Structure formats: C-alpha cells, structure tokens
Amino acid sequence: MSNAPSRYLARQKDPAYRQEDPDATAIGSVRRPTRLHREAARSIISRNQSPDVPFEQSINPYRGCEHGCIYCFARPSHTRLGMSAGLDFESEIYWKPDAVRLLDEELARRTYRPRIIHLGANTDPYQPVERRLGLTRALLERFLHYRHPVTVLTKGALIERDVDVLAELARKRLTRVAFSLTTLDDRMKRTLEPRAASAHARLRAMRLLADAGVPVSVMVAPVIPKLTDHELENILHEARQAGATRAGWILLRLPLEVEPLMREWLEAHHPHRAHAVFAMLQGAHHGQTYDANFHQRQRGSGQYAALLRQRFDLAIKRLGYETGDPPDLDTKAFRRPTVGGQLGLL
C-alpha cells in the first residue's frame, strides 16, 4: 500500500522519492509494527448535526485503526495529524489516556443533558490495540456506573471480553451493539480487511451478545459493487441466525485519499473488476466516484442504488428483521458525577 504524505504538510515529498520507504512502494509488503502515540485530548465527546447518522454524540478512544480495512472512510482524518491516509493510518495509532477523566468531567457539567453516546463513529473501539490498553472497557464501565446510554459499532471479536458489562447495560435499557460485516469470503477478507476479525468470529460474538440479552444489529457495510454486493442476502441471513434483530447497509464511500488507495488495491487484487466497480459507483453518484452530500453519501441514487434498496428490503422482510426506529434507550436514569468521577449525594 502507498503512504502518500498528508495534504496538510507545507512541504511535500516527490512521490518518485518515496521508494526510500519499502513499505510505501507495494501492496502486500510486510506490515509495519504498530507505534502508539499518546494524545493529550482536551475533550472526549464529539458532537455532530448530521441528519443521516442516528446519534448526536460520539467518542473515539483511538485515532487510526490497526484493522487496516482498505476502504475505511476515516482514513483521511489521519492527514490532519500530518500523517498519511495509507500505512500511517493503520500503524501510527493515537490513544487518549485521559479518556475516562475527561468523560467524568464532561458528564459532571450542569449544562450536560444525557443523550446517546456512540462508540465507533470514526475508528473501531475494538481494534487490536484495545486488548492492551482497555480504553473501551473502561468507558463502558463508566457508562454503566452513571447509567448513561451508549451504542457500539465494531468489526472486532474482542467485544466478547466485555459481554458482562454490555449485558448489564442492556438489562437497564442502556445499550445496543451493531456489527459491521462486509463479506463472508475469508479469502476476500484477508486482503480487504487484513487485521479485522473473520466473519465467523464476528457472527460468534454476535450470538454471544444476543444470548446475553444485548440488542444486536448488523450493518452490511460497505457494499462494494461487483465485488461483495452479491453477498447482501447471505450476510443478512447469517446475521439473523446469529441473533441480529435489526439491519442496515451502506454503499462503498471513497472520500479524498480513500479513492486512490481503493484503486491501487483493486489493481493489485482484482484488476479485471476495477473498471466495473468505479463505473457502478459513478452511476450511483451522478457521474462522480463519491458524493459527500447528506443522505446521498451513504446510499447513493439511481438504478443500482435502487436495486440494492429493493433487495435489502425484501430480504429483511423475509428474514423477520425489525423495522422502524429502535426502542429508545433510557436517559432518565442518568446519575450525574461530580468532578473526579464520584457520584453526588443527590
């Protein structure tokens, strides 16, 4: 995979001279070891007003993601750190050691009003480094302590470790968990999502959580034209068998630096399909490879997008998935902390 320099750097290196970095010259080269960077964050809760996402607040314990999914729409966020959206994104990982303290402080503010906080909005809260650092686990324990609603999106089987906390949150109507599934094909997954859990492992984790009483859903994401789109119904079927009660889907998104990375990956692994993939995307985005407008960016439009919607709707009806808005999580049980993370007397 390439490792083009950040577009935010004042001085750019000529791509012809990037061959001094062997990792930057070829897809399939030996993976770089992960390097951790402490991030001195001043706040932990991010807020958005996007009309096409189901949450207003989120927490990202990490920047960058070891899973290395080539299609990840979050890759361009690393360029703001002066790093590449390529190899840097999956090997230079930033973590927030003060995450729990910052959460305590933000929830303790008298102006704070409890609303769902989502884990996994930008990068996966259960990526491999979480096994060592435990930030996600610590945050979940805090949400349980304060009776604060939290939702999780992951493609990591490590979530099985936290079934005890998630089950207790679920008993108090404080959580829902979604799993992202792109393909059931292990050979495809090995290059597409090289360090994410296998589909089998994700389905096993889904079943474990569902059996523990945690509401579980599946996101068929991203749907890649001419590459994984034929798996839509099979993924929905396997997830339903594993206990998922709700489902969604998202079309492949290729903002900014992600498009050239995806082109490079296709030319290396599926050159005979590369042209068709981009032709179908352009058909769904008014001639562009990607359209960042709200509502358009996740589902697209046109005949291909309409066919995907129809297939999805027929499948979830046949498989018995729930539709409509999910039941509300409990915001009334929230117990405001005092600064320092202790509960007040009242």
- Hunting for tokens 């390529």 — which residue is that? 86
Q: Is residue 260 part of a domain?
A: yes
Q: Is residue 206 part of a domain?
A: yes
DSSP class of 162: G
**What's residue 25's pLDDT?**
37
* Each residue's pLDDT tens digit, 144-158: 999 999 999 999 999
The CATH number for 195's domain is 3.80.30.30
Calpha distance 321→186 (Å, rounded): 26
Q: Is residue 158 part of a domain?
A: yes
Calpha distance 135→139 (Å, rounded): 6
Q: Does 189 have pLDDT greater than 70?
A: yes
Query: Are the C-beta atoms of 220 and 235 separated by less than 8 Å?
Result: yes
> Which residue type does 140 have?
L
pLDDT tier for residue 23 given thresholds of 50, 70 and 90: very low
Phi-psi region of 247 (alpha: psi -120 to 50; beta: other; left: phi over 0): beta
Q: Is residue 16 part of a domain?
A: no
Q: Is residue 197 part of a domain?
A: yes
Q: Is residue 325 part of a domain?
A: no
Domain span including residue 45: 31-319
Calpha distance 199→186 (Å, rounded): 7
* Each residue's pLDDT tens digit, 41-88: 999 999 998 888 888 999 999 999 999 999 999 999 999 999 999 999
Q: State the total domains in the chain.
A: 1
Calpha distance 246→25 (Å, rounded): 42
Calpha distance 113→46 (Å, rounded): 14
Q: Is residue 344 part of a domain?
A: no
**Residue from 294, 217, 216, 218 nearest 253 by CA:** 294
DSSP class of 79: G
Q: Is residue 336 part of a domain?
A: no
